[in-house]
Amino acid sequence: MKTRIVSIANQKGGVGKTTTAINLGASLAVRGMRTLLIDLDPQGNASTGLGISRSGRGKSAYDVLLGDIAPSDAAVLTDVDNLSIIPATMDLASADNEMMKSSRRVMHLRDALRLHPMEYDYVLIDCPPNLNLLTINSFVASDTILVPLQAEFFALEGLSQLLVTVRDVRKSANADLRIEGILLTMFDRRNNLCLQVEEDVRENLGDLVLQTKIPRNVRLSEAPSYAMPVINYDPTSRGAIAYRSLAGELLQRNEEALLTDG
Ligand code: ADP
Ligand code: MG
């Protein structure tokens, strides 16, 4: 299987990007997919959530972007079989400025991933909450973008700005970039506004919206403080079940796409 590179992005903070990166990554890994998570947010929440302490971070995403380091040399194993992570360190916050000086400023991540052979089925990239150069690097390097969307009133407005950026990247640097899917997160089926927003989003975006919805579930917010994905912390929680079925849905969509292409 060719490595599939997926950006997890939404310029809005707090919509579930990092939670999705950790828990989708772990759910793909337990299905036997060799999975690499790249923590591209200077805050480093994905790294912390998977138990990589700040002092235990050697090579990082910064070194991959700017230091000629092979991704596999910056990757560290997590406690989940088949799941590795390239951690983020504080210096990632200056990467935007430093890449700005280079003529291949949007290509740094793609060059790094292409230059070095990788033994992964999935690479998931946890993007920062903006559409700056780190996120653009992620889009240029990716096959697809998975967009976590919190079901709330202004959700669709932010999305149109994201889709404009995707169109620009397609025109300039990555013509094959596609949307993997829109993922409704923190969903509360007892909340009428949530149901209304879901209806709106499905009406406007159709098949782009994934069938799986991630419920609001306190286990998902507790798990990172135990440095575990939710499928280990509480395997029978509604959050764990949802992320496992998200992995199933993506794998199935991917297989169907391969069949139609072939
Ligand atoms: P982002 O990476 O987009 O900023 P996070 O994944 O860090 O968002 O989520 C923001 C906060 O919401 C975190 O405290 C996280 O634990 C919590 N959270 C995320 N998804 C859920 C969910 N489905 N149910 C409950 N809490 C959630
Ligand atoms: Mg985050």
Instruction: List the residue whose alpha carbon is closest to atom 7 of ligand 1.
Output: 18
pLDDT at 179: 96
The CB of 158 under 6 Å from ligand 1? The reply is: no
For domain 4-179, give the fold.
Rossmann fold (3.40.50)
pLDDT at 259: 80
| pLDDT over 90 at 79, yes or no | yes
Cα–ligand 1 centroid distance for 181 (angstroms): 18
pLDDT digits 0-9 by tens, 136-190: 999 999 999 999 999 887 888 889 999 999 999 999 999 999 999 999 999 999 9
Identify the three-state secondary structure at position 185: strand
Name the closest ligand to CA 240.
Answer: 1
User: pLDDT averaged over the chain?
Assistant: 95
pLDDT at 213: 97
Quote the pTM value. 0.97
| pLDDT over 90 at 57, yes or no | no
Beta pairing partners, 150: 185
pLDDT at 35: 98
Q: DSSP letter at 172?
A: H
- CA within 13 Å, CB half, 197: 24
- Cα separation, 189 vs 192, in Å, equals 7
